Amino acid sequence: MSLLTVGTVAFDDIETPFGKADRVVGGAATYISLAASQFVNPVHVVSVIGDDFPEETLALMRTRGITLEGLQVREGEKSFFWAGRYHHDMNSRDTLTTELNVLADFDPVVPEAYRKTPYLMLGNLTPAVQKRVIEQMETRPRLIALDTMNFWMDSALDSLLEVIGMVDMLIINDEEARQLSGEYSLVKAAEHIQNLGPGTLIIKKGEHGALLFHQEHIFFAPALPLAQVFDPTGAGDTFAGGVMGYLAQSDELTFDNLKRAVIFGSAMASFCVEDFGIQRLRTLSSQEVRDRVHRFAQLVHFEV
Amino acid sequence: MSLLTVGTVAFDDIETPFGKADRVVGGAATYISLAASQFVNPVHVVSVIGDDFPEETLALMRTRGITLEGLQVREGEKSFFWAGRYHHDMNSRDTLTTELNVLADFDPVVPEAYRKTPYLMLGNLTPAVQKRVIEQMETRPRLIALDTMNFWMDSALDSLLEVIGMVDMLIINDEEARQLSGEYSLVKAAEHIQNLGPGTLIIKKGEHGALLFHQEHIFFAPALPLAQVFDPTGAGDTFAGGVMGYLAQSDELTFDNLKRAVIFGSAMASFCVEDFGIQRLRTLSSQEVRDRVHRFAQLVHFEV
C-alpha cells in the first residue's frame, strides 16, 4: 500500500551538548518519508520549499521511492527554518529561531494521482492545513494519523479539535496529551482523547518509551537504553514515519499489528538520535532494523 | 530461604492532591518486610521504634511471618517521623518535617539467630549503620542489596562508597544513579556504578518503570499505567521488598530469575500506590499478585 504525508521540508540549526550543526536538512515530512520508505513505497510528499533546498537531498528521497510531485518549489523564496538548542538532558529544548518563510501561506495541493492513497500521515502543521489535505482525498484513507503540538492547543484549539475528530490515530507526546485532555494520568488522558474521535492514540515519552492505546487495549513499547543520544531532532517524526510505513506495508490494522508498528517506529527513532539530522537514516539497512527490533524484544522479555 | 532487612519503622504525615493522612504507619523496613512476606518467611526486621508505635501493626507483621526480635523498643521515646507533600505529578515531593527521634543514635543489633540469613536487604539509612549490619553477619549472605538516597551522596559519600563496595545489588532511582555516577545516560551511569562493586543494579524510574543491569545484561520492566496514583509513599521500598522476597523464596540468582523478581517487585509497588500507606498491602492475595504480573506480561507482549 502507498503512504501520503504532509509536513515541513526544511532546514534546522541544531545545538546539542555534543556539538553544533547549521543548516541541517530537516522537517517533519523529510523524517517521516525517509523513515516510512524503509518499509514501503511509494511515499508521496505534499509540502513546500524555497529554491534554497539541496537537490542532493531530493535526489536521495527519490531513490528511496519518495515521490515529490506534491512538493511545491517557490523560486526566490526561502525554505522553513528552525533553530534550537537542546539542554543537557536532551529531553527539553529551547527554540532560538522560527522563520516560516514559504510556510507562511502554504496551501497544500494533493496531486490528482495521490488522492486515493490508503494511508495518510499528517505531520505537525496548522490544523487548518491538515484539514485541507483530508478534504482533498477522493477516497477516505484506510488510516489517517495526525501529529500536532501544544502550540496549536494554545492558539487554534477549535480547529485542532475539528481535525482530531476526523482522524483515526493521534500521535503526540505525554506533555501534549496532558494539556489536550486536562488529565495528568495518561490512562485518563487517553480515555479523554479517544472520546474526541481517534480510536487509536500513541503517546510518545521520549527516553521512557511509548504507550499505544487502541480501543480498550494498552501496549507499552520501551525506548532502547542508549549510551549516547547525539541529536534528538526528528526522533518523533521518524517514529511516526516508521509506524505508518510499517502499517502501510503490512496493511493490517489489528491491535497485534499496531503493536509491531510501534516497535518498528521505536527502532527507527533509536537510529535517528545516533547522528545529526537525517544522517543515520541515509544508510540504514533492513538487517540493522531487524536486529534492533530483536533487541527491543530481548529488552522486555521475561517468563513467569 | 529467609530474608533479613534493616530500615526505619516509623510514622508519616502524607499530603497528596487526593487527601491528607496523619501519623500513618510507614518506614522502609515496614514496607520492605510486608512486601517480602508476600513471598517468603521468615522476614527478620532490625530496626528501632519508640513506645508510641501501634501494637496492632506489629501484630499484623507477626501474623505474616515477620520476626521482630531485632526491633528495639525505646520506652519514653518517639518513633522516627516524616511529613511530606506530593505535587500534582506525584513524581516529586517536598519534605515538610523530619524528626529523627529514636533514629538519632540507632545502633543496629542483629540477633544471634539472624546472623546466617542468606538474603539481606539494607533499607535507606546512614551508610555507617548499613555497614554495621553487614559486619555482624556470621556467614556472608548469598545476596546483599542496598537502597540509599541523594542525601547520603551529599553528606557521607566516602562511607556510602565503602558500603556500596560491599554489596551485590544496588536499588536506587534514576536521579540518584545520575548523581552517584556523574553520567546522564543511564547506560553509562550503570557501567560506572557496576564498577564501584555491585554486579547488579536496579534503577527505579517511578511511573516510567525500572531498568535492571546484571553483569552485561539489561532488562526493562514497565510500570503499569494507572488511572490513579493515590499515594506513592513506600512504593520504592515495596518494590525492593517484592524483589528481595521473590529472590529469597526462589533462591536463584540467574538473570532470568532477577527479571522475574523485578516484575514481581513492580507488581507489588503498583498495589502500594492504590491506597494511603500500607493499607493496600494488608489484604493482598497471592491470586491478585499473580493476576497483576499477568497484566505486566500482556502490557509489553508483542510478536515479530
User: What pLDDT is recorded for position B19?
Assistant: 85
Least confident of A43-52, A61-70, B87-96: B87-96
Mean pLDDT value of segment A37-53 = 98
B184 touches chain A (CB under 8 A): yes
pLDDT band at A87 (very low <50, low <70, confident <90, very high): confident
A291 touches chain B (CB under 8 A): no
Q: Which of B89, B219, B226 sits opposite A299 (nearest CB)?
A: B219
Mean pLDDT value of segment A178-197 = 97
Mean pLDDT value of segment A112-117 = 98
B297 touches chain A (CB under 8 A): yes
A214 touches chain B (CB under 8 A): no
User: What pLDDT is recorded for position A66?
Assistant: 98
Under an 8 A CB cutoff, do B303 and A260 touch? yes
Query: Per the structure block, which three cell numbers stand in for A113?
Result: 494521482
Per-residue pLDDT of chain B (304 residues; tens, 9 = 90+): 999 999 999 999 999 888 899 999 999 999 999 999 999 999 999 999 999 999 999 999 999 999 999 999 999 999 999 999 998 777 788 999 999 999 999 999 999 999 999 999 999 999 999 999 999 999 999 999 999 999 999 999 999 999 999 999 999 999 999 999 999 999 999 999 999 999 999 999 999 999 999 999 999 999 999 998 888 999 999 999 999 999 999 999 999 999 999 999 999 999 999 999 999 999 999 999 999 999 999 999 999 9
pLDDT band at A229 (very low <50, low <70, confident <90, very high): confident
Under an 8 A CB cutoff, do B218 and A299 touch? yes
User: What pLDDT is recorded for position B51?
Assistant: 97
pLDDT digits (tens, 9 = 90+) for A248-266: 999 999 999 999 999 999 9
User: What pLDDT is recorded for position B100?
Assistant: 95
* pLDDT exceeds 90 at position A93: no
Under an 8 A CB cutoff, do A185 and B227 touch? yes
> Which site among A174, A193, A291, A300 would you substitute to test the B interface, given the most B Cβ atoms closer than 10 Å to its Cβ?
A300
User: What pLDDT is recorded for position A230?
Assistant: 86
Q: How many CA atoms lie within 13 A of A62 on its CB side?
A: 9
Under an 8 A CB cutoff, do A219 and B299 touch? yes
User: What pLDDT is recorded for position A18?
Assistant: 82
pLDDT band at A92 (very low <50, low <70, confident <90, very high): confident
Q: Nearest CA to B83 among B71, B93, B91?
A: B93
User: What pLDDT is recorded for position A91?
Assistant: 73
Q: Which of B184, B222, B304 sits opposite A297 (nearest CB)?
A: B304
The pTM (predicted TM-score) of the whole model is 0.95
Q: Which of B208, B225, B297 sits opposite A304 (nearest CB)?
A: B297
Question: Given the C-alpha cell 517533519, which residue does it identify?
Answer: A28
Which residues in chain A are contacts of B250 at CB distance < 8 A?
none
Residue of B nearest to A223 (CA): B220
Under an 8 A CB cutoff, do B205 and A205 touch? no
For residues A237 and A7, give the distance between their C-alpha atoms in angstroms, rounded to a whole number. 10
Q: Which residues of A194-230 are buried (b: 16+ CB within 10 A; e: fewer)?
A: beebbebbbbbbbbbbbbbbbeeebbbbbbbbbeebb
User: Residue B182 — φ and ψ, nearest 5°?
Assistant: 70, 15
User: What pLDDT is recorded for position B17?
Assistant: 84
Is the bond preceding A225 in cis, omega lying within 30 degrees of 0? no
Under an 8 A CB cutoff, do A185 and B226 touch? yes
A287 touches chain B (CB under 8 A): no
User: What pLDDT is recorded for position B90?
Assistant: 75
Which residues in chain B are contacts of A222 at CB distance < 8 A?
209, 220, 222, 300
Under an 8 A CB cutoff, do A185 and B89 touch? no
Burial class (CB in 10 A: 0-12, 13-18, 19+), A77: middle
pLDDT digits (tens, 9 = 90+) for A278-299: 999 999 999 999 999 999 999 9
Question: A residues 15-54 near B, CB within 8 Å?
Answer: none
Q: What is the CA A285 to chain-centroid distance, rounded?
A: 20
Under an 8 A CB cutoff, do B219 and A302 touch? yes
User: What pLDDT is recorded for position A89?
Assistant: 75
